Amino acid sequence: MLPDLRYPLPIAGALYFLCLKYDNIYKRYQAVYSPYKLADTPEFQTPIDLKLTSGSVPAWLNGIMYRVGPGKFNIKQTDGSTFSIKHAFDGLPFMHRFEINGSAQTLKYNSRLLAGTVERNIREKTYKGLVFFGHVPTVSFFKWLQEAYYRVTIMVLKIDSNKGDSEPDSQCVGVTASTNFPLPSDCAKEDRVLVSKTDANILQKIHADTLVPEKLFTYTSYDKKLQGQFSAAHHQFDPETKEIFNFTLSFAPLPRMIVFSTSEDGKAKVLADITHRSDKSRFQAPYIHSLWLTKNYIIIPESPLVYQDKGLNLLLNGSVLSSMTWVTNAPTYFHVISRKGGGLIASIPTTGFFTFHVANGFDTIDKNGDEILSLDCAAFSNGNIMHQLNKFGGLHSKQAYDAPTPDTINGMSFPPHRQTCFGDMKRFTVNLTQQKVINTEIICCNMDFPRYNQLYCFTDHQFLYGCELKGFTEKTDESSYLVKVNLSTKSGTRYGQEGYNCSEPIFVPSPNATTEDDGILLSLVNNAECCFLVVIDATNMKELARFTIGQFSAVTFHGSFVDHEFKNINLN
């Protein structure tokens, strides 16, 4: 079938010849990723009522946890073939809702696929210009050309030509779940707002109870100036001023970062428009997944993990990952932006590292009156992790993809080694007067998905909670434990056992808490038999209660918790 060519075919032809200049990594991706089949998660559109499986829930724990993650990987197409998505990050997203009633000791659970129109377009083969994080579909040459053509028209020329492109479930948006998110002023005011977010400049409003997708919008709906293809899936939030901080990033025609805040009423304010570092050097568009906020500053980490070709590769092959490159021996910069006056204050270099997830950050004044920033994050010393994520949370196979002679692609090890640990939780101390990183310290090795008691944000607090990866050995299966770290002693306490895959823990303080760790952690755990919700005493990391959800796996990245009045308790 000939595409509806509103723009001349020669554009597509020219793109193809440009593409031939690149390394043919497409086939290598296919070879490495295609043996893996990822399992689908069943949908529970109608809520199910669950009773405690064991233990007891604190009577004060009443509220809703939302978690989001990839759920659908295998789509039966009308011609009988199956479109199998081979990268865990690219599964069509599901939102999961867990309503906990501590006084009744019950749990109500429902879940929903957030991208029904994408699924339908894949099923009926009517999709146009799909973009995945790492998955590269096997398609004919003609389909490849057609897809590249549509990506150019959709992403660059901003002409969306998908069937049902205005449907609220026509995009995959499923990395973070945020409650009480300010909506653009053209949206009707509502008491209970749930929004799903990802690393692209796109947000999806979802019904807080039924989880039905209701609207898609971009940050441009808040302010015309907020243009750009990318952003960070994790924003920052000041509970006191109720402002949200974020940025948009364009990779073409020139890399540019626009840092902004949105207030409670949905008004956006541009704080910095960055095209150069503070030393006037230009940067390549980096991949950024989260940023820090302190009382006075916004700090954006610019790692040497960049879109190497102004996004051309992404446009051609529809894979974000194949467009990324790790620049060996290049520094990571902390871009420090003032919350008060706005503007880029400094771009401070340190030894190159990459982070998905920042933890807390705070600013203090030392005895000489100099400003010191303390910035915690889960740091990887290179970009190899990017190729290791393709079966995150997926089924284990003893035929490890540890190839005997690993090579590199774009500065990252390939085929990837099996991931044996996360990065290290580190604290970077920055002297803002000197514009220098004065100390780098390991808080805890092998830790990611950091969360903490949000009543202590922007302060020199005591405890971080997160996940720890226990690598696969001949004897033991790969597992992920929960870990609590005392930031002063750097000692850790753990929860878990072999075969448990614990997801990011969400801290909920007890109502009359007087200490930082007086509260519980919520985590969704998968093991070989089932998926269950666990409530853990955060003071000693002992299990308090468990609800079995069902005989399946539900992979989720992140979540948020609101109390029974829908007030934010721990927000992502």
Ligand X SMILES: *[C@@H]1O[C@H](CO)[C@@H](O)[C@H](O)[C@H]1NC(C)=O
Size of the site for ligand X (CB under 6 A): 57
> By CB under 6 A, is residue 400 in contact with ligand X?
no
- How far lies 285's CA from each of 83, 309, 315, 351, in Å? 32, 9, 15, 18
491-495/479-486 β-pairing: antiparallel
Answer for which of 11, 52, 187, 202 binds ligand X (CB under 6 A) is: 202
- Token pair for residue 70? 């990839």
> By CB under 6 A, is residue 564 in contact with ligand X?
yes
Complex with ligand X: residue 47 or 499, whichever CB lies closer: 499
Picking from 525, 380, 515, 397, the residue whose alpha carbon sits closest to that of residue 461 is: 515
- How far lies 239's CA from each of 222, 272, 532, 563, in Å? 20, 22, 31, 15
Answer for which of 140, 399, 488, 551 binds ligand X (CB under 6 A) is: 488
> By CB under 6 A, is residue 183 in contact with ligand X?
no
> How near is the Cβ of 143 to ligand X at its closest, in Å?
10
Answer for which of 57, 154, 177, 232 binds ligand X (CB under 6 A) is: 232
Do 25 and 32 contact (CB within 8 A), yes or no?
Answer: no
> By CB under 6 A, is residue 256 in contact with ligand X?
no
Answer for which of 19, 172, 293, 409 binds ligand X (CB under 6 A) is: 19
Listed ranges 123-131, 275-283, 298-306, 482-490: which one lies at the site for ligand X (CB under 6 A)? 482-490
Q: Name residue, tokens 């000693």.
A: 540
Window 364-383: residues binding ligand X (CB under 6 A):
366, 368, 370, 372
> How near is the Cβ of 8 to ligand X at its closest, in Å?
21
> By CB under 6 A, is residue 231 in contact with ligand X?
yes
Answer for which of 110, 221, 313, 374 binds ligand X (CB under 6 A) is: 313
Listed ranges 108-116, 206-214, 380-388, 427-435: which one lies at the site for ligand X (CB under 6 A)? 427-435
Window 314-353: residues binding ligand X (CB under 6 A):
316-317, 322
> By CB under 6 A, is residue 461 in contact with ligand X?
no
> By CB under 6 A, is residue 569 in contact with ligand X?
no
> By CB under 6 A, is residue 295 in contact with ligand X?
no
> By CB under 6 A, is residue 558 in contact with ligand X?
no
Listed ranges 163-171, 394-402, 452-460, 543-551: which one lies at the site for ligand X (CB under 6 A)? 394-402
The 3 state secondary structure assigned to 238-253 is: CCCCCCEEEEEEECCC
3-class SS of residue 189: coil
Do 245 and 226 contact (CB within 8 A), yes or no?
Answer: no
Contacts of 440 (CB under 8 A, 6+ apart): 350, 351, 426, 427, 428, 429
> By CB under 6 A, is residue 395 in contact with ligand X?
yes
> By CB under 6 A, is residue 528 in contact with ligand X?
yes
> By CB under 6 A, is residue 420 in contact with ligand X?
no
Helices (H), 112-243: 116-123, 141-151
Give bridge partners of residue 362 from the DSSP assignment: 374
> By CB under 6 A, is residue 514 in contact with ligand X?
no
Q: Give the x-and-dash track for 74-93 against ligand X (CB under 6 A).
A: --------------------
> By CB under 6 A, is residue 562 in contact with ligand X?
no
> By CB under 6 A, is residue 413 in contact with ligand X?
no
Q: Is 511 exposed, middle or buried (0-12, 13-18, 19+ CB in 10 A)?
A: exposed
Q: How far apart are CA 234 and CA 178, in angstroms?
A: 9
Answer for which of 179, 248, 294, 410 binds ligand X (CB under 6 A) is: 248
Window 44-63: residues binding ligand X (CB under 6 A):
60, 62
Do 211 and 46 contact (CB within 8 A), yes or no?
Answer: no
Instruction: Specify the DSSP element, H or E, that contains 312.
Output: helix 312-317
> How near is the Cβ of 22 to ligand X at its closest, in Å?
4
Complex with ligand X: residue 118 or 200, whichever CB lies closer: 200
Window 95-154: residues binding ligand X (CB under 6 A):
101, 103-104, 144
3-class SS of residue 292: strand
The 3 state secondary structure assigned to 16-43 is: HHHHCCCCCCHHHHHHHHCCCCCCCCCC
> How near is the Cβ of 119 to ligand X at its closest, in Å?
21
> By CB under 6 A, is residue 542 in contact with ligand X?
no
Give bridge partners of residue 65 from the DSSP assignment: 98, 561
Picking from 439, 287, 464, 442, the residue whose alpha carbon sits closest to that of residue 359 is: 464
| Helix, strand, coil % over all residues of the chain, rounded to 5 | 10, 40, 50
Do 376 and 383 contact (CB within 8 A), yes or no?
Answer: no
Question: From the centroid of its chain, how far is CA 287?
Answer: 12
Complex with ligand X: residue 80 or 110, whichever CB lies closer: 110
> By CB under 6 A, is residue 513 in contact with ligand X?
no
> By CB under 6 A, is residue 438 in contact with ligand X?
yes
Window 160-179: residues binding ligand X (CB under 6 A):
176, 178
Q: Name residue, tokens 């992920």.
A: 480
Answer for which of 13, 42, 239, 511 binds ligand X (CB under 6 A) is: 511
Instruction: Specify the DSSP element, H or E, that contains 385.
Output: helix 385-388
Complex with ligand X: residue 124 or 265, whichever CB lies closer: 265
Q: Which residues bind ligand X (CB under 6 A)?
A: 19, 22, 24-26, 60, 62, 101, 103-104, 144, 176, 178, 197, 200-203, 219, 231-235, 244, 246, 248, 313, 316-317, 322, 366, 368, 370, 372, 392-396, 431, 433-434, 438, 478, 486, 488-489, 499, 501, 511-512, 526-528, 553, 564
